[in-house]
Structure 1
Amino acid sequence: MIPLTDTVLIVGHGSREESGNREIRDFVQQWRLRQPGWRIDLCFIEFAQPSLHDGLLAAARGAHRVLVLPLILNAAGHVKMEIPEAIEHARDHCPGTEFLLAPHLTACDETLAVLRRRLRQAMSALDMPDPTTTGVVLLGRGSSDRGANGEMAKMVRWLQEEGDHELVDLAFTGIAWPRLERVVQRQALLGMRQVVVLPYYLFTGTLVQRIHRQVEHLRGQYPQLRFACGEHFGFEPEVFGLLRQRVADLLAGVPDSRLPCDGCRFREMAHDMGHGHAHDHGHAPVPARAEGQAA
């Protein structure tokens, strides 16, 4: 149980597709029902409201402490720079409130469990063919951050080591390479008869919808192959469990070696290269909210 003076703030990415933002809101509402007595707020990094900056300030009203939980799979610029800088901004405006930042969801056993379940479901849709002739493609959002791409590569390796599929590959929807079409071409040349595409996304959105369209196109391009496309993570129990563990770790003071000092090293590098985020948002100081008052 967390103190009534604490606020848990979920930070979602946000999507141009409103159905994706609605899924995130539904997810947070489900978590509120699972954690009665907790004050759980939500904000978005982009494309949806409330914004990250406004969400932090609102979460601080009447709170002695704000526990910031990025609802994000991989750590790139949003996690390493934007969220920590927004927290610094909120600290300046709310000096009486402590802000604690949890790590993102990360490549871990829990995310692996979701992927393995999605893979089993896709294999069932293919009438359980021989996994040695079924290629697997983990498809995620590419990044200019090699660490974020590396986390996905780790998940690919774990999937291969934990199963019987001889060919498990990584592909990206943008920014990084290879792309899905090239990986499927390679798997076809290597003699795969079926291909399972596993989207590495938490919620739906424009990119997830594009993935399903791409798989339909590939079905016409490779009539000799059978394709199955998995679903995004959504409301899996492992995701709820990871968030609860993040809260427990923050309350216990467990240090996070993956993002030391609120990501300050990464922000310093960005500032040195001229990519710092300005704090001229013009927010007025936030008035205190009475204890127990609803957000």
Structure 2
Amino acid sequence: MEAVLYICHGSRVQEASAQAISFVKKCMETNEFQGIQEYSFLELSEPAIEEGFRNCVEKGATIIHIIPVLLLTAAHAKKDIPEVLEKLSIKYPHVQIKYGRPIGVHPQMVEIVADKIRNTSLYQETNEEILVILVGRGSSDPDVKQDLGKIASLIEKRVERITVEDCYLTAAQPSFEEALQIAEHSTYRHVLVIPYLLFTGILMKSMEKTINKIKSTDKEYVLAPYLGYDPLIAGILKERVDEMMVGNEYALITG
């Protein structure tokens, strides 16, 4: 029997974990997969990967398709999750593990952010150019900066009257604080901050505090909501499941 195990990042903020569970359950309902489906978290939340995996096995799974519910491909996807799966492959040698791709650079993600920009009151109520700051979680992995930079460039091409700059909350440059300083000294009067985050959490609260520290009299700063559930994202995760069903998995892990 086959199973799909979704792995979310996890958060110390209970609301974020609850949002992730709700998000994955909606994806489960819409992906048309007929086998076992479970969810888990890499860190900070329950159930852990090991528990979610065990639940699949106890329900009779002999092939488990792993879906990392991560926006970009970084150390979590390349190292942290595979390390856990390697240990599980030894513990459950009779179970075949197929590891899928994160969401990554995808045209639907570009469309989601483009629509979010167009639907803000800031964009609709002014005809002036707007500076959009696209904020990623950040990583020391250079692929993260490269991929979010691509997404920023594609968004800029899809929406009129905007310039998009990417920045990061941790471990990459420019930092969010540096991006705000650049915005403050720019000629733009309207600055829209887009958190490239799936759920709420400590990072969202930190961004709000940082923006509130700016005492600008001639600029308008608006913090947009995090991405949250979107049918288009559910469609991407379904793509990732379908890829593995036809043998196009990111990696095959066996004991």
TM over 0.5: yes
Residue in structure 1 matched with residue 175 of structure 2 by the alignment: 179
How far apart, CA to CA, are the structure 2 residues paired with 1:111 and 1:241? 11
One-letter code of the match for 2:92? C
Q: For residue 127 of structure 1, report the CA deviation from its aligned partner.
A: 4.2
Q: 1:116 touches 1:159 (CA, 8 Å); kept in 2?
A: yes
* 1:279 alignment partner in structure 2: none
Structure 2 vs 1, CA of residues 215 and 44 (structure 1 numbering), >3 Å: closer, same or farther? same
Aligned to 1:239: 233
CA distance in 2, matches of 1:235, 1:168: 23
Go from structure 1 to structure 2 and tell me whether the alpha carbon gap of 1:31 and 1:172 turns closer, same or farther (over 3 Å shift): same
**Residues 3 and 35, structure 2, Cα contact 8 Å, conserved in 1:** yes
Residue 40 of structure 1 and its aligned partner are, at CA, apart by: 1.4
Distance 1:192 1:146 in 2: 29
Give, in angstroms, the shift of residue 195 of structure 1.
0.3
* Counterparts of 2:127 and 2:176, CA distance in 1: 22
Corresponding position of 2:81? 83
Q: Could you tell me how far 1:24 is from its partner in structure 2?
A: 0.7
Show the counterpart of 1:54. 51
1:249 lines up with 2:249 in the alignment? no
Q: Does 1:162 align with 2:139?
A: no
Does structure 2 retain, via aligned residues, the 8 Å contact 1:32–1:38? no
Residues of 1 paired with 2:178 and 2:18: CA distance? 33
Q: Does 1:207 align with 2:203?
A: yes
1:138 is paired with a residue whose SS is strand
1:101 and 1:165 mapped to 2: Cα distance? 40
SS in 2 for 1:144: coil
Match of 2:18 in 1: 22
Q: CA deviation at 1:252?
A: 0.9
Partner of 1:137, secondary structure, is strand
Aligned residues: 251
Matched residue, 1:271: none
Which residue does the alignment assign to 1:144?
Answer: 140
The one-letter code of the counterpart of 1:48 is: S
Shift of 1:198: 0.4
Larger Rg: 1
> Displacement of 1:215 after TM fit?
2.5
**Aligned-pair Cα RMSD in Å:** 1.9
Query: Percent of pairs identical after alignment?
Result: 23
Contact 1:13 1:71 in 2 (8 A): yes
- Aligned-partner residue type, residue 93 of structure 1: K
Structure 1 unaligned spans of 5+: 263-295
Are the structure 2 counterparts of residues 31 and 188 from structure 1 closer, same or farther at C-alpha, using a change threshold of 3 Å? same
Task: Give 1 or 2: higher strand fraction.
Answer: 2
Superposition pairs of residues 1-295 of structure 1, within 5 angstroms: 5-35=1-31, 37-61=34-58, 62-122=60-120, 124-125=121-122, 127-132=124-129, 134-218=130-214, 221-254=215-248, 256=250
Moved more, 74-83 or 10-19: 74-83
**In structure 1, what is the Cα distance between the partners aligned to 2:26 and 2:83?**
29
Q: Decide whether the 8 Å contact of 1:136 with 1:165 is kept in 2.
A: no
Aligned pair in 2 of structure 1 residues 231, 80: CA closer, same or farther (>3 Å)? same
Q: 1:35 to 1:246 in 2, by over 3 A?
A: closer
TM-score (norm 1): 0.79
Unaligned runs of 5+ in 2: none
* Aligned-pair CA distance for 1:213: 2.5
Q: Is the 8 A contact 1:159 1:168 kept in 2?
A: yes
Shift of 1:72: 0.4
**Whole-angstrom distance in 1 between the partners of 2:99 and 2:195:** 27
